[in-house]
Structure 1
């Protein structure tokens, strides 16, 4: 018997070793936070998959829309308008009124009437912002409502991806504990149904309303890892996306355009829905595979919390619950075990694996089953993580497949030496693939670089700089792959791309130009992501050149790379250096190769450093033919300054000043650049300069650098140049903006 057991253990050794090992590693990575964002994304999709729920008829939102703001022509709205609004709402006899508007200061006229209304409306609940809740300074409530305790907290906990998935029931600050707006309104409504809060039987620290027990959120619940769980938090069971609740506008109420019983015996929430007021938040319904994420107003988030509480207490609608950690560990171990068994069963006795459609289909079926289990559980109110078990299953399959498949040493060496799949495939299919050396070939080279990124990176933490680069490089790499370019290397924030190596195609130059335009167009999405993350806007310049170079394996027997060398690589870099942010410059050779389908917006002669003959560089505006892509026109209005701004500037050589400082003045200004008057000769399209403003009679330099590129001379014979700003320090950007708008308004 012992002999048979030993035999079974040996036969299944791969599963017995791999499954718990991979499961343990997955659990460790899970609690290190590596799967948190992916699990949040999967969780968000669970909200979007079920059919849309009906709106909660117990809640009505009075929204302050953009149309209302245009009509009222005032923000904040005057106290007399707010008094009139609240009186009209009171006439309909709602159960409770939640005022999701900060109102700590009078907004005359009509403040005394508003104070009188506060005192005569016991079911009106105002908001305050607690210090340390969702961040930011505290905002006090109306003092007339704070004294009788008609105040609630407006703080909302944000996840690190800036989304709302949970909410406070209570929040504490020092010795003060205060209910959130959503909970306070729910309390008032439930009291009319004979339901009052009490300690839960299962745990005296838990809140119970009716039969619903509100289990407080813990730091590692669901897909969360070491999240700040202070206060009494609850995972929100959202009703739906923005617009789910019944919303009427302020003007509809003020002008009696709503039914007379619309708000009777209901909860009324008053808050902003206007885009310009910026009380908008990302929720699970903001996740979208296509399109720009749509945000939900803060007043609707409060409505979702109120609805979550009421529905749980009155309708048995499930609250979002999570597994204990030990059960999640078993779930991950199960996934790891299934992956190990599927892979181990398909082995050959000699240890060589082969592809099995049946086994592969089985693996995909199991993955689908995990997501189905997660979806069905979610419908019952359970958040079961799906990413860790799927990754554990995949990890076990990979480990065992790697163990079974004896990959040749030469192939492993090849994969460690080359960057792209296309390069690797080309090398492996050629008997000469591993030899050092190369061949002469005509290719098209694309080089891109960010404008002013060095100055930006100096002001930001290294982690933030890396995040910005990853967003940028990821988006650019997607476009390059789409147009079948080969990324030769990333050089900091620069990218070197080859078209025609290792695989030569007839339309290499045409694809390179189309790829460059697509990359510039993709920068809008990159900057939208940066804006959502609070990161600065970035701009990119691109240079393209076509010529004969040497491509092949460069290096030694121990370490090599597939690369390109030749003067045309250097010329591409020189062409790129002439570009501004958003521009694409191409050489005469590329223009001839692509032909008349190109839209050329201009050209200029240049004498690149290191080259004896001058060349003509062409500014690309678009491409016709099958790609049909155009760059947007960039308008820049220069406004003459009433008083010239004295400046001092220096010319940059590489990343550093050449040592000479010159005086000049800005005579015109725009959002993107300026007209500089200088007695010194500057080189258009070549010189990059660093400018400092001089203020006061003693011309003291203003703190903060302005970086720019000399674009052109305004008029031959004078000393005025048009400078395009490539980077402006935040401390001086506001000053320039103020000066610009003051001078615009003067015309």
Structure 2
């Protein structure tokens, strides 16, 4: 098996294993986290999606205000029955479709056997619950009330016997139990229960079905269809609750305020706020029936938020957010989901696995193709986009997983990076480390990516050749010991190589004190001429810094000459079949060497050909030096001196260029006297101008014949 095939199989296996692990039973504790995060993100992103007044369910809250308001203040709940009956009747008369009780009053004060006077307390208050029971019986007769009970253990928590009789026993009593995930979070609600061998709808299902006037239909697997709406549910016989964020999604009325409103018989208020609603009585106290739900990161400050009816009581509003909500809001949310048909849809196990596998595969590919930091950034961007997409889908009641893909992709990213470091890149790192001192990094990477050894041969490319040499190197070598000379050259060549490579150049070879570099190969570089020019300027700057700061250079100041030429060249592997180098070969290389040597005659530092100047553009300040023929070539060419970047050109340099250009123009027009004057302006400070001034004065005194050629032939290399 080829190594590349093996590596691909390993990366694919990593992605699949990580995806499978993320949806395995071991990851079950984090599975519900997706719902919690998406609920919070949707709330922060989209805010309140609908007017709370449009909520099908409303809550009558037994709250702190109710406990502090007369006549309820200081009285136990079982003595509130008459007032509860009064509020129940008022809400139903106001047009409520059905009322449910999330509170269970297990006993009646009429059954109290506590001694009181000469008899029992219960005997003394006989008939105390009459108004409440009459209200229950009247509502039960029209199917508009449902009491709650809590199943579990050997004995259920049920309403008092009198209440059960008033509502016709189990006909109007439904379970209040909720579904708790393995992490003790409520995210789902049971749809039905088995009581005495019969299927009984849950409180929320019963309230929604009576409000809709439809009978709930269950199939063999416990799936519910209500008024044509097939309720989705990943866990059998449950629905996934679609909680809104904040604290005002379900209109909430303080029981104390409604009692005062009922006493003053404000029927308009009850019709305005309760007509067509499902009313749920429940406790919202901080010490009773509090649950953590998938809304735990998106809760709000609770309180009596609906418009008030009476002024006899004072609202009590909490001043801080807590992560739990009152259990009554769980049932109210379920009722809203069933009536509005927006219960959450959760993908099944296969869909979750495929989504996790996709994210794990993308992370593994990024880790395989990119450097670790780049792969981590790509993974972060992928997760952000994935969460954004899941939030948008969640706004449409589709709960896509985010926790499982996050874990799967994170582990796949880490595992693939680890595999690369320990196994796959081991040989690559060894080869790169071993050959980095001999071959260009681009050559090594190309060889590794192709999984092929280098071969003889090359290709024609348009490149720029950079040739540099140290001025007077023979005299320097003669004065220094071999060890000192080697130390000096190593520092010089290292500094120049760093500059060249920082501009994208490839150092082809060192020939003694000379450096031969190529721009535009082996890596493509459309700006190879400009980059070579920048490298030349920076090499001059770097050498000046070495001469000033390095202890080795203080005793032996160095000067360099640089030649630059652009043109077609053959680049590739040259040599014998057993040993070869990656190099460049063409007349462009020879010309760059000649241009470097031309600096000796003109007393300049950097000379470039007219081809390079045309390709480099206007970002550089060039001075046309002359038109020359170099040794070994018959064709003449114009040569230019590189002075600076255009943006950094000084006024004195600009004057120098202008005077020289004027002199050169007169020279070529055979106006030698005027040429001598122009060159003479800078002759004292400029070697090329001094040379031309002397030549012009000689020709002014001894004019040449008609066959005079303004092109200088350089015989030295």
TM normalised by structure 1 equals 0.45
Q: Pick the structure with more helix per residue.
A: 2
**TM-score (normalised: structure 2):** 0.47
Larger radius of gyration: 2
Looking at both structures, which has the greater relative contact order when contacts are Cα pairs under 8 Å and sequence separation is at least 6? 2
Query: Higher strand proportion, which one?
Result: 1
